[in-house]
Structure 1
Amino acid sequence: METTVLVIGGGATGTGIARDLALRGVDATLVDRGGLASGTSGRSHGLLHSGARYAESDPVGAEECIEANRVLKEIAGACVRDTGGLFVQLAEDDPAYFETKREACETVGIPANVLDGDAAGEVVPDLSADVERAMEVPDAVVYPSRLVAANAADARDHGATIHPHAPVEGMTVVDGRITGVDVGGTVDDRVDPDYVVNAAGAWAEQVAAMAGVDVEMRPTRGVMVSVEYDRLGPVLNRCRAPDDGDIIVPHDSEVVLGTTSVRVESPDEYPTEEWEVSKTVAECAAMLPPVADAPTVRTWWGVRPLYGPDEDERGGRGISRGFFRLDHAADGVDNFASVVGGKLTTYRQMAESATDHVCDRLGVDAECLTADRQLPGADAPDRLDELVAEFDGQSVTDADVVGACES
């Protein structure tokens, strides 16, 4: 089986790369082992960042977020929900941090409107009385199942081949090039690619190792708790240095509470602790008290695809969630690259960067079109949910939303 580019990983970044390649006329095949969005993309809290979370610590990353936020609101339709967001300062929170974030948002170009506690309470009726002030920002909600499926569908419609149940089992490297990739599952064949892109997220280290390349990942787990609550309009963020339990993401009849950050050795096998759940609920309840006693619908953990060298350099949670494009020609494998790190919000920019690189290596002269073309089914939620089912892409993040239009 031959293909020009083999993309490994069926999350937002991988499907975004396949879409970008296909729109530029490049033959692409995408493989994933467990259904699309089965990894980090589909086990997130589903926040479409405005960039405000990173404005003071990583202004470049914040600029990427606000750009991505605006693009996705234009092209993604019902893959996103434009809720707005609030960063809330409680009585115990440092007011200087609030001011630093507000000034950073202004510098980066992120709209940020300050409300006093009473005005914030009018926006969120059940908001804690301990909220002294809040900052309105253009956060939103993203439904990863729909987003990933829509990207895969557009890739397929423009000539790409998508295999949601096809795990990579090994690679053959000869004279500094990957000459074959053994793929199991529904493919059960050797794939002979001209170029290989590793977009496996938290699993990028394992994939790279098959080619004899070291990609040092530093995965961390985080818990999400979805509870019954239907009165929240905007996303709520605690305005303090990133910590456990500082984000609440609204759906229709539920809200997603998140999250923790605990280093794990393997993205497949890791312990989960009850304290993560109880602390996340308690900390989120400090912003929105009714969630403390709201019935829990589902609880899940996701694993962040953090890049080890960047984590070592920056040295802390929430300092940076930038992405990195690694050309493994420097490691002795000429036709191999990895894209690691990043956020669900910036998946399209990650895909564009990776695709630019591949096209440069293949001698393809074609511009990126993905920022200006609406995703298929964007304005038809039922069609999006059909695509999710087609690609076996249902994620736990949006399980209460995707498919609801059918009932």
Structure 2
Amino acid sequence: MTDRTDVLVIGGGATGTGIARDLALRGVDVTLVERDGLAAGASGRSHGLLHSGARYAESDPEGALECLEENRILRDIAGECVRETRGLFVKLSEDDPSYFETKRTACEELGIPTEEIDGETAQAEMTGLADNVERAMWVPDGVVVPSRLVAANAADARDHGARIYLHAPVTGMTLEDGRIAAVSLGGDVDETVEPTYVVNAAGAHAETIAELAGVTVEMQPTRGVMISVEYDGLEPVLNRCRDPADGDIIVPHDAEVVLGTTSVPVDDPDEYERSDWEVEKTVDECAAMLPSVAEADHVRTWWGVRPLYEPEEAARGGRGISRGFHRLDHATDGVENLVSIVGGKLTTYRRMAESTTDLVCDRLGVDATCSTAKTRLPGATEPSTLNAFVDEFDGQGPTDSDLVGRK
């Protein structure tokens, strides 16, 4: 069976579903394919932090502003797909005081709202905070419920005419005259798609998809562990105010907190080591901020793989503290109808989708502008509706399995 479509989007994470939604809202015929259920990759295996930009303020001002702007947009359009918390950057007695000052100044220069408090005030406002907190800074971080976010984007795309195929891995591509003429699907969908244009939004697997088209996308995926432990009553996201390192973020849920994370390069985003030392170090480091998590019962542990773009990682010396995104137009590589979108963060998925959709519409001659920044996601105010979307698209990930009910 052959399916013809204007645009084929490969990848069912936040970016892929965001692109499908944006295209559909602009009236473009679009098909999205995902090898598993939705949010099976990095989107559904993250720590779920809605960035304010403060984490990147001094190291990547442009990326920080993108986070700040998208944070505000998501709070407007996503409803129960995000949780309205705050973030608190804490400086412990052993942390470099100049780093705190540099970050605070950078936030002020970028317009990221901050409020500095002393250690005693922080401990009074935050029960259980470490005794050696000397200074702290409030920022507008929040929490993403990624399973809901991805499923809501897919539902809106579907409602505007998109076709969404799950458990449909791409198994091959046919090229003719410098264009992708056909894409073969396997799994539950034994079908061939003939697209006018193709978007590679496969995350850590973008390199593999690109190879099928005969082009190169150099990825350097890194693994990171997350541990959810029992802890009731934490309001804000906690960030250790020091150079980025293992175990420097604690993300609140209802009766749990998520401790994260590590950053270890992997060769294969599907097959990689899951090391006990990562769990132990992450717990120990997070306990420096919130001591009682050291003895808290572990509810679940998972690893995620970040879809990092290798040239940027190399330029920043490895762990880098940029999570900018890259839109790679493969017309320059001899494939006229292919674009890859790589890197980025869950917080900036909508902007990544807008940038990609702008390019695709330009190539297709579609004169329509983006409306996703002002159009609320379907079911945004109704958790039960959002959870039903998650079920419909087989979208549950470990990040939010305590927040999203399953039938």
Query: Normalising to structure 1: TM-score of the pair?
Result: 0.99
Q: Give the whole-Å Cα distance in 2 for the aligned partners of 1:40 and 1:259.
A: 13
Match of 2:76 in 1: 74
Letter of the structure 2 residue corresponding to residue 173 of structure 1: L
Q: Deviations over 1:282-318 (max 9, x none)?
A: 0000000010000000000000000011111121314
Residue 125 of structure 1 aligns with which residue?
A: 127
Matched-pair identity in %: 72
Q: Which one of 39, 47, 56 corresponds to residue 54 of structure 1?
A: 56
Match of 1:250 in 2: 252
Counterpart position of 1:205:
207
- Is 2:376 the counterpart of 1:382? no
Match runs of 1:8-19 below 5 Å: 8-19=10-21
Question: Gaps (5+ residues) in structure 2?
Answer: none
Task: Tell whether 2:358 aligns with 1:356.
Answer: yes
- For 2:159, which of 157, 160, 168 is the aligned residue? 157
Q: Distance in 1 between matches of 2:64 and 2:124?
A: 28
Letter of the 2:175 partner, please give it: V
- 2: CA distance, partners of 1:40 / 1:138: 23
Q: Is the 8 A contact 1:123 1:233 kept in 2?
A: no
From 324, 327, 337, the counterpart of 1:322: 324
Residue 61 of structure 1, CA deviation: 0.1
Equivalent of residue 331 in structure 1, options 333, 345, 352: 333
* Structure 1 position 122, deviation (Å): 2.2
Q: In the TM superposition, what is the alpha-carbon distance from 1:118 to its structure 2 partner?
A: 1.3
> Once the two structures are superposed, what CA deviation does each residue of 1:310-350 show, in whole Å capped at 9, x if it has no partner?
11112131421000000001111000000000000000000
1:366 aligns with 2:368: yes
| Matched letter for residue 240 of structure 1 | R
Separation (CA, whole Å) in 1 of partners of 2:321 and 2:124: 32
The yes-or-no answer on 1:174 pairing with 2:188 is no
1:117 deviates by: 0.7
Write out per-residue CA displacement over residues 117-174 of structure 1, whole angstroms, 9 at most, x where no aligned residue.
Answer: 1111122110000100100000000010000000000000011011121111010111
1:22-101 equivalence runs, <5 A: 22-101=24-103
Instruction: Please say if residues 222 and 266 of structure 2, whose CA atoms lie closer than 8 Å, have aligned partners that are also in contact.
Output: yes
The correspondence for 1:298, drawn from 280, 297, 300, is: 300
Correspondence list, 1:212-223, <5 A: 212-223=214-225
User: Equivalents in 1 of 2:358, 2:300: separation in Å?
Assistant: 39
Kindly indicate whether the alpha-carbon contact (under 8 Å) linking 1:352 and 1:368 is maintained by their aligned counterparts in 2.
Answer: yes
Q: Is the contact between residue 40 and residue 395 of structure 2 (CA under 8 Å) also seen in structure 1? A: yes
Letter of the aligned partner of 2:6 in structure 1?
T
Work out the CA distance in 2 between the residues paired with 1:121 and 1:200.
Answer: 43
Aligned to 1:110: 112
Shift of 1:375: 0.3
Tell me the alpha carbon deviations over residues 359-395 of structure 1, each in whole angstroms, 9 at most, x when there is no partner.
0000000000000000001000011000000000001
Q: Could you tell me how far 1:186 is from its partner in structure 2?
A: 2.9
Structure 1: give runs of 5+ residues left out of the alignment.
none
How far apart, in 2, do the equivalents of 1:62 and 1:369 lie? 22
Task: Determine helix, strand or coil for the equivalent of 1:196.
Answer: strand
2:342 corresponds to which of 336, 340, 343? 340
Give the corresponding residue for 2:231. Answer: 229
Aligned positions, number: 405
Q: Secondary structure of the equivalent of 1:26?
A: coil
Does structure 1 conserve the Cα–Cα contact (< 8 Å) formed by 2:84 and 2:142?
Answer: yes
Contact in 1 for aligned 2:313/2:320 (Cα 8 Å)? no
CA shift, 1:101, in A, is 0.1
CA offsets 1:86-123 (integer angstroms, 9 cap, x no match): 00000000010000000000111100110111111122
Q: What CA distance in whole angstroms lies between the structure 1 residues aligned with 2:199 and 2:151?
A: 19
Secondary structure at the counterpart of residue 10 of structure 1: coil
Return structure 1 stretches of 4+ with deviation > 6 angstroms.
Answer: none
User: Amino acid of the residue matched to residue 331 of structure 1?
Assistant: D
Q: Is the 8 A contact 1:54 1:318 kept in 2?
A: no
Aligned letter for 1:311?
A: E
Report the RMSD for the aligned CA atoms in angstroms.
Answer: 0.8
Output aligned runs, 1:256-295, within 5 Å: 256-295=258-297
Equivalent residue in structure 1 for 2:315, among 305, 313, 316: 313
Contact 2:228 2:256 in 1 (8 A): yes
SS in 2 for 1:115: strand
Amino acid at match of 2:282: T
SS in 2 for 1:299: strand
